[in-house]
Chains A and B, each alone.
Chain A
C-alpha cells in the first residue's frame, strides 16, 4: 500500500494528535485532546481510564462514528498505511465492519429486536464478503460455532430476546468475525455481563486474536480485566493519554502518579502492606474548559507549580514505556521515601515496620 515510508511495517493503526470536540449548548466539550496511539498486528491493546476520560470517544472517532455535533481532527490517522483523513464518507463506511469492527458495552440493546440472528449475520456477510444464500448460512453457522454458541443452526432463526446477555455479546463478536476484520475494537464488552461470563468473553477475544489473526483494542475501566488478556496498555485521563507501556510495565513498574493511584485502588491479595484500598480523592476534571496543565493535577499528591502551567511532555523509559508527568519515576520514588514514614506514623495503626 501507499505511504509505507511513513508507517513502519506491522503498524495497523496509527493515530497522531487526535482531537475530538463536541459542540453543545454554545460550549465546547474537549473530550479528546491530542491522543497518540499505535496498534500493531497481533496487538491486544487496552485503553483504560475512568468514565469520562475519553477512551470510548477516542476509538469512536477513529471509527468515524461520532455524531454531527462532534469535530474530529488529527495530524495523522492511518490504517494499514492508508490515510483515513483523506477518505470519503463512503470509503470510511466500507471500512467499518469490513476492516475495523467494533462491539459495544450493552449486548442487550445492540441487536435489532425485530430481526433474527441469522438476518443480522447474513446482512454483514453480504455487505462485506458478498456471500448470499446457502453459502452465507454455512458461514454464519461456522462463525457462531467459532464464538462458542451451541447448536448454531437452530439459533439462526431465533430473535435477540431469546439469547442471554453473554450469548448476545458472542453474536456481536460473530458479526464482527463475519467481516474478517484486521482490527476489532471492543468498547467495554464485558461491563454489562456478570463475572463468570466476563472471563469467558475475554478468553474468547484472546483466542480469536490468535486464531483469526486480528488485533484487538479493548476499552475498559477495569484494570483487573486488562491485566489478564492484554499485551499493551494505554492509560487515559481527562482526554489525554497519561502512560503507555507493555502490560508488565504498567502493572509492575508504573511510572505515572495516576497509574500508581489506579493500581492502589485495585484489590491485590498478594500485597498485604497497606491493608485497605486507597481511593483517589476528588473527581475527574470538567472537559468543558479543561485546565492547560496536567488534568490530574488537582487530585495528584505530587502536584507542583509546573504541573498547572502546561501539559507535561512524555518521558520515555526503557522499552517503549512513556509517561506524561513533570517528574521522572525516580523523582516520584524519592518523594515517596521522604514522605511515607511521616504519613505512616500519623496513621491510626502506625505500620512503621513496613518500611
Chain B
C-alpha cells in the first residue's frame, strides 16, 4: 500500500510540471499581458523597457518560467499586478474563509445524500423513492446563482431577515453576526452539492441491490436489514467514499460563483476580480493550486478506494 502511494506520488510530479508549463504558456499567449497592465500608451519606450527589466519580462520565456516555478516551490506565488499585494498572503486569508463555507456545506450535503440515496435506492419505485428522486432531479437543474438570487430576494429583500453581503457587519465581529451572514451562502452551497451526490448514491444502491449476492444472502436467510447494512451499504460506500477525495479541489474553487454573489471574502471574488482585471499572477496561482488539489484528490480517492475494496488493494500490491 505504501509502495503504491509512493508510486502514485512520483507519477504526480511530472503531471504537475506539465500543468505548470501549460498554465504558464496559456497566460503568456493571452492577448493582454502583465506589461500592458502596468504601462500606459503614453509612457516612453525607455520607461516601458525599464519596467520590463524590473519585472524580468526582458528575459527569455524559459528563464521567466523557471523563475516563476522556483518562486512557487518556495511558496512565493508572486504579487498582484493591480494591487501589488502578495498573493500568498491574500490566499492565506481567503482560503480559510472559503473552507469555512465549503467544508460544512459539502459534508452536510454528502451525509444527507448518503442517507437519502440509500433510502430511495433500497425502496426503488416506491412513493418515497419518487419524491426523493424527483427533488434531486429538480435541484440538479437549478443553477446555484439563480438559487442564490432567489434566496437573497426572499430572505434579504421580502423578509429582510438575513444579511446578503459579506461575512460580517463592519464593526461587529460577533459569532451570531457571522452566523447570520453564513446561512444563505451555506444553504445555497448545500443544495448545490446535494443532488449530484444523492443521485449517485441512489443509482449505486440500486445497482448493488440487484446484484446476485443480495438474492443469495436472502436465500441463506439473511434479514433485509442485515443485507442492507452489512452488504449493500459497504459496497455502495466504497465508490461514494472516493467522491470525497475527488471533492478536495472544492475547498478552494468549489464556491466561486456563490461566494461572488454573496461577496463572501473567500477565493471566489478574489479570482473573479483577478480575471476581470487581467491580474494574471493571481489567476495562475489559483489554477496551479486547484490543479494540484485535483491530482492530490484523485490520489486520495484511489487510496480510499483501495482501502475499501480488496480487489483493488491486492491488484495494487502486486
Using a CB–CB cutoff of 8 Å, the interface residues on chain A facing chain B are 63, 65, 93-98, 101-104, 106, 109-115, 123-124, 127-128, 159, 161-162, 172, 175-176, 179
Tell me the total A-B contact number using a CB cutoff of 8 A: 75
Q: Chain B's interface: helix, strand, loop or mixed, by majority?
A: helix
Q: A97-B220, A109-B211, A109-B213 are in contact. List 15 more A-B contacts (CB 8 A).
A: A63-B219, A65-B219, A97-B222, A98-B221, A104-B216, A110-B216, A113-B213, A114-B238, A114-B308, A127-B220, A161-B311, A161-B314, A172-B216, A176-B220, A179-B220
Q: How far is the CA of A111 from the CA of B311 in the complex (A)?
A: 13
20 contacts between A and B (CB under 8 A): A63-B219, A96-B219, A103-B216, A103-B219, A104-B212, A104-B216, A112-B217, A112-B234, A113-B311, A114-B235, A114-B309, A114-B310, A115-B231, A123-B222, A128-B221, A159-B310, A159-B314, A161-B311, A161-B314, A176-B220
* Nearest chain A residue, comparing its CB with the CB of B315: A161
Q: How far is the CA of A98 from the CA of B314 in the complex (A)?
A: 34
**Which residues of B sit under 8 angstroms from A63, Cβ to Cβ?**
219
Q: How far is the CA of A175 from the CA of B218 in the complex (A)?
A: 13
Contact among A94, A111, A123, A124 for B213, CB-based, below 8 A:
A111
B217 to chain A, nearest CB (A): 7
Q: How far is the CA of A301 from the CA of B231 in the complex (A)?
A: 51
A110 near B212: Cβ-Cβ < 8 Å: yes
A158 to chain B, nearest CB (A): 9
B231 to chain A, nearest CB (A): 5
**For the side of the interface on B, what is the size category?**
20 to 34
**Which residues of B sit under 8 angstroms from A176, Cβ to Cβ?**
220
**Which residues of B sit under 8 angstroms from A124, Cβ to Cβ?**
220-221
B242 to chain A, nearest CB (A): 14
Which 4 A-B pairs have CB atoms at the shortest separation, nearest pair first?
A: A97-B221, A97-B220, A109-B212, A102-B219
Using a CB–CB cutoff of 8 Å, the interface residues on chain B facing chain A are 211-213, 215-223, 230-231, 234-235, 238, 308-311, 314
Q: How far is the CA of A179 from the CA of B218 in the complex (A)?
A: 14
**Which residues of B sit under 8 angstroms from A103, Cβ to Cβ?**
216, 219
B238 near A101: Cβ-Cβ < 8 Å: no
Instruction: Decide: A96 near B310, CB < 8 A? Known: A110-B213, A112-B231, A114-B238.
Output: no
Q: How far is the CA of A110 from the CA of B211 in the complex (A)?
A: 8
Contact among A96, A109, A172 for B221, CB-based, below 8 A:
A96
**Which residues of A sit under 8 angstroms from B230, Cβ to Cβ?**
115, 123
Instruction: Decide: A93 near B311, CB < 8 A? Known: A110-B213, A111-B213.
Output: no
Q: How far is the CA of A113 from the CA of B221 in the complex (A)?
A: 19
Q: How far is the CA of A127 from the CA of B221 in the complex (A)?
A: 8
* Central interface residue in A103, A161, A172, by most chain B CB within 10 Å: A161
Q: How far is the CA of A161 from the CA of B216 in the complex (A)?
A: 17
A127 near B213: Cβ-Cβ < 8 Å: no
B238 near A97: Cβ-Cβ < 8 Å: no
Q: How far is the CA of A176 from the CA of B220 in the complex (A)?
A: 8
B122 to chain A, nearest CB (A): 12
* Nearest chain B residue, comparing its CB with the CB of A176: B220
